[in-house]
A and B are shown apart, each in its own frame.
Chain A
Amino acid sequence: MKPRDLSDLAFRNLREAILRNALTTLGVAVGVASLVAMLSLGVGLQQLASKRLSQSGLFDTIFVTPKNNFRGMGRPQREAGSDKPPRVLDEDARKEMEKLPNVVEVYPQVRFFTEVRFNNKPFATVVAGMPDSSKNSGSFDGMQGNFFSSPGANEAILQIEFAKDLSDKPASLIGQELILRYAEREAIPSGGDSTSPGGGFSVVPKELRLKIVGIVETEPAAGYGGYGNARLLMPLATASTLRAAQVSDLRDIVRDNSSNKATYPSLSVRAKSPSHVEALETSLRSMGFAAFSLLDASKSLRTFFSVFDLLLGIFGSLALAVATLGIVNTLVMAILERRREIGVLKALGAADSDVQQLFFVEAGVMGLFGGFLGVFFGWGLGRAITMGTNLYLKRQNLNPIELSSVPWWLVLSAIAFAILVSLAAGLYPASRAAKLNPVDALRYE
């Protein structure tokens, strides 16, 4: 039979026992819906996790230090001895790194321990400079107040615990000013005597007034490295101009620093995406620096989610397996009912394959409709779960999240899977119908 005639007859047959076929199709739809809902949660959680992690700068950031740097964080030095003299991390090196492909930005770590005066009372804290890109990192989502008005503004964002130290009503702090007291380095010019160790700096106490523009609940992780969690955040550009004395400066004095240029203890190189990190690490190492990233950790995260998705998929498929039995049952019933009709078709010249294809198409159509309906139901179920979760999160004063996600590949593969499973379910009934003896079938009343 021609495909058009085949589908025409199949639809006619499906319409005939509309209630039974609709219920069977609904069974397939429920099966597909459970599969789609499960997988959409898996995909959604994975996206949520990788979005948060990539925004946090943990997986797209490479931590660069000079090769001979004793970082003192217990991390092993990755590169073994090399003949080249160790390069210093200065402004030239930074510019060179910025020119590497797929680099978004290169910024130094500015973190220092200092004192803040507010209402004439001193508070000790750690100050960190935040690159402008951290605005989009997700760390500042749901903050009170605003992010820095410009990359070089004299503004501060407080971590909530610190804000609570300053005032009983943290929210009232926004708009007020505090005074940052810090120690500025002032380089001592070398005396021109080549035998003297030369260089070094004196420390001059300075003050800077900062306007509090926001309060953040989380602890923004601007890359890693440094020491302690910063409780007062200010724009990186502002923090850099302070030339505040940092712990690493002491090391610079002991080191033979032939150039008087400012050097960085470490730089963070941010890649366009985690997939570029590996190649960038290699080029940074070939430039003569030590490079480190958390890429390996993100790889194991992906492995975890593939296993997680697989498990969700297996549980979701159980309902579809039950629906498959429904299709087999419906079609076997249809054979009994349409015994005589099958006999007539064969007497009129239908080949076994025609009868087989007819039942196959009927199973496939139920799968197709069940698949479409199921994707819709599954999407709705995912939305409902997301809405329910967000309602709960809102009550807990937490930010809403996108828990489920139905990407195109999931829609298409769910429908394809539904059709495939339905065709497999139609295999037995179709071959049974095809083998029906027309003489017996015509005698059957």
Chain B
Amino acid sequence: MPNADPAIHLDHVSRNYTMGETTIRAVNDVSLSVAANEFLALLGSSGSGKSTLLNLIAGLDRPTTGSIHADGQNLAALSSLELARYRCNTIGMIFQSFNLLPRMTLEENVELPLRLAEVEHAERPGRVREALERVRLTHRLGHRPTELSGGEQQRVAIARALVNRPKILLADEPTGNLDSATGEAILALLRDVQRTLGMTIVMVTHERPLAERYADRLATMGDGKLLGGSESAKGTAQ
């Protein structure tokens, strides 16, 4: 169950884009708290602003107005370099299209965040193995992403997101490119990670039934706004 101290807190966050003379409010005055160790599913149709919200939490984008606090840091106060360090050390990200680098082996893909975090060379093989063990892919260290199935690729992406031991995992439609059985396996893996490692997860998805079964809480977005607060999910699936 979630702790009382929020891991992520959004206070009246808006993100506007100007296209020509019109202003698009991709995220419109959203206030939201995610508790530590909580698994939040962010639902909504495409264009509802959920991915933009995730990018704001990831520090890949900055809000037009409002403030975001994550892991005790005020993202607005961070410089571009500090924001990069935040992404490197506090955040792990997974994507719908996996975004593994096709030229690198699994091992090298998972090692990439360790390079960016300037982890000592001697420490790296152990960390990579540990992350791949968690997603049960140690037997395919030398393979390239294209030699793997979609589900396996997403598991590698999860290993890559975990290798720097972040506190927050952000997942953008992680099951979007997978069949339902594989998608379910990935969500089970995410829940397992959340419980065993004590991580906070924010997952963007439009698959409500899956979210209901694996997430602790659901929040729905429409037209850039949070619709009708949030509801507790059963989180019943094992």
Chain A residues close to B by CB (< 8 Å): 1-2, 4-5, 8-9, 12, 16, 340-341, 343-354, 438-439, 442
- Chain B min CB distance to A13 (Å): 8
Q: Is the CB of B61 within 8 A of A350?
A: no
Q: Is the CB of B118 within 8 A of A346?
A: no
Q: Does B75 contact A (CB under 8 A)?
A: no
Instruction: Identify which of A5, A341, A351, A438 contacts B115 (C-beta below 8 A).
Output: A5
- Chain B min CB distance to A11 (Å): 12
Instruction: Identify which of A9, A16, A352 contacts B84 (C-beta below 8 A).
Output: A352
A354: chain B residues within 8 A (beta carbon): 84, 116
Q: Is the CB of B87 within 8 A of A349?
A: yes
Instruction: Identify which of B84, B95, B99, B104 contacts A349 (C-beta below 8 A).
Output: B84
- Chain A min CB distance to B19 (Å): 14
- Chain A min CB distance to B172 (Å): 9
Per-residue interface assignment for chain B, residues 68 to 90, with 1 indicating a CB less than 8 Å from any chain A CB and 0 otherwise: 00000000000011001101110
Instruction: Identify which of B84, B85, B103, B164 contacts A346 (C-beta below 8 A).
Output: B84
Measured CB to CB, the nearest residue on chain A to B108 is: A12
Contact A347-B87, Cβ < 8 Å, known A16-B103, A439-B55: yes
Q: Is the CB of B81 within 8 A of A9?
A: no
Q: Is the CB of B113 within 8 A of A439?
A: no
A442: chain B residues within 8 A (beta carbon): 60, 95, 99
Q: Does B101 contact A (CB under 8 A)?
A: yes
Within 8 A of A (CB), among B168-201: none
Q: Is the CB of B121 within 8 A of A352?
A: no
B113: chain A residues within 8 A (beta carbon): 348-349
A352: chain B residues within 8 A (beta carbon): 80-81, 84
28 A-B pairs within 8 Å (CB atoms) are namely A1-B115, A2-B115, A4-B121, A5-B115, A8-B115, A12-B104, A16-B103, A344-B99, A346-B84, A346-B87, A347-B58, A347-B93, A348-B87, A348-B88, A348-B112, A348-B113, A348-B116, A349-B85, A349-B88, A349-B113, A349-B116, A351-B80, A351-B81, A352-B81, A439-B55, A439-B60, A439-B61, A442-B60
Q: Does B160 contact A (CB under 8 A)?
A: yes
Measured CB to CB, the nearest residue on chain B to A340 is: B99
Interface size class for chain B? 20 to 34
A348: chain B residues within 8 A (beta carbon): 87-88, 93, 112-113, 116, 160
A340: chain B residues within 8 A (beta carbon): 99
- Chain A min CB distance to B158 (Å): 13
- Chain A min CB distance to B226 (Å): 21
A-B contacts besides A2-B115, A2-B118, A353-B81, 20 pairs, CB < 8 Å? A1-B116, A4-B121, A12-B104, A16-B103, A344-B99, A345-B112, A346-B84, A347-B58, A347-B87, A348-B113, A348-B160, A349-B84, A349-B87, A349-B89, A349-B116, A354-B84, A438-B60, A439-B55, A439-B61, A442-B95
Contact A349-B117, Cβ < 8 Å, known A344-B99, A438-B60, A442-B95: yes
Q: CA separation between A349 and B83, bound complex, in Å?
A: 8
B87: chain A residues within 8 A (beta carbon): 346-349
Q: Is the CB of A344 within 8 A of B88?
A: no
Q: CA separation between A325 and B51, bound complex, in Å?
A: 39
B93: chain A residues within 8 A (beta carbon): 347-348
Measured CB to CB, the nearest residue on chain A to B92 is: A348
Q: Is the CB of B101 within 8 A of A341?
A: yes
Instruction: Rank and list the top 9 A-B pairs by shortest CB-CB distance, nearest first.
Output: A349-B88, A351-B84, A5-B115, A349-B87, A349-B116, A344-B99, A438-B60, A348-B113, A351-B81
Measured CB to CB, the nearest residue on chain B to A12 is: B103
Measured CB to CB, the nearest residue on chain A to B118 is: A2
A16: chain B residues within 8 A (beta carbon): 103
Measured CB to CB, the nearest residue on chain A to B117 is: A349
Measured CB to CB, the nearest residue on chain B to A445 is: B97
A351: chain B residues within 8 A (beta carbon): 80-81, 84-85
Q: CA separation between A9 and B101, bound complex, in Å?
A: 12
Which of A2, A340, A347, A352 is packed against the most chain B CB atoms within 10 Å? A347
Within 8 A of A (CB), among B84-135: 84-85, 87-89, 91, 93, 95, 99, 101, 103-104, 112-113, 115-118, 121
